[in-house]
A = this chain, B = another copy of it.
Amino acid sequence: MLRAQPDRLAELAVRADARELQWADGLPLLEADGRLAWGPVRNPLLFLGLDGDAPRFSALPPSPPPTVAFGLLAQLETEDAPKFACALSLANWHGRHGHCSVCGQPTELVRGGWSRRCPACGGEHFPRSDPVVIMLAEHDGRLLLGRQPHYPPARFSALAGFVEPGETIEAAVAREFKEEAGIDVADVRYIASQPWPFPSSLMIGCRAEALSDRLTIDFTELDDARWFTRGEVAAAVSGDPGAPFLPPPRYAIARTLLEHWLAA
């Protein structure tokens, strides 16, 4: 594996076809056409892999990323989404892991940016990717959607929460529905997944059958949660101005889940 070979990485970095990802305000920079912006190699700390045969690197951005920066995803070309998520997740992780969690000493970036090593205690630390369940529940043909406090007005979307140590995906879905909406679910099914680099999650999209439609909403987590009919969800997803809610944006897996439900 190239990451484990610093000499090979150094050779790749000086090749004529090597490029380095550009950053602005703590986020990967996009060209006007929605593609990631690449420039000459100056500080190739992160090895982002080969694009065909061409080496792709990144510096670490000097400024931390904004905590909520989803807007850029609306412009991003789908083809570049994995590299965008990879670079931003890694940068977020390095930004918060300059010290060894075991002994507290400063760590060194190694393996082309895919790990950090502690010269003091020898500990090695790898980037994290936090599994999150994001999920729809259906009851009698209607779909449960909720509002998080930070959503724009009228937006409803899938409920979500971190998978905790000791849980299966299915157990996490059941616990989150119980905690946030007070409902029991059965028949949890996986639909699709998406990396979400704010700061470094793996979104695991699921659907389930609710055993009842009686909600007990946890208002410390959600502003609101409601059942919507197929017609209401279809109106929202199609952009109908008379729809009873605004759907999640196109780049979010929650939107994919709604479209999957409508198509089923």
Contact = CB atoms under 8 A, between A and B. Distances in A.
A100 B102 contact: no
A249 interface: no
Classify chain A's interface size: 35 or more
A182 interface: no
B200 A165 contact: yes
A127 B166 CA distance: 11
B166 A82 contact: yes
Copy total for this chain: 2
A97 interface: yes
A119 interface: no
A163 interface: yes
B127 A86 contact: no
Contact of A99 (B1, B100, B168): B100
A82 B220 CA distance: 27
A73 B262 CA distance: 42
Interface of A: 1, 82-87, 89-90, 93, 96-106, 123, 125-131, 162-171, 179, 190, 192-195, 197, 200, 202, 204, 220
24 contacts: A1-B220, A83-B166, A85-B166, A87-B166, A93-B165, A96-B102, A97-B102, A98-B101, A98-B104, A99-B99, A99-B101, A99-B103, A100-B104, A126-B130, A127-B164, A127-B165, A128-B128, A128-B130, A129-B162, A129-B163, A165-B195, A165-B197, A167-B202, A168-B195
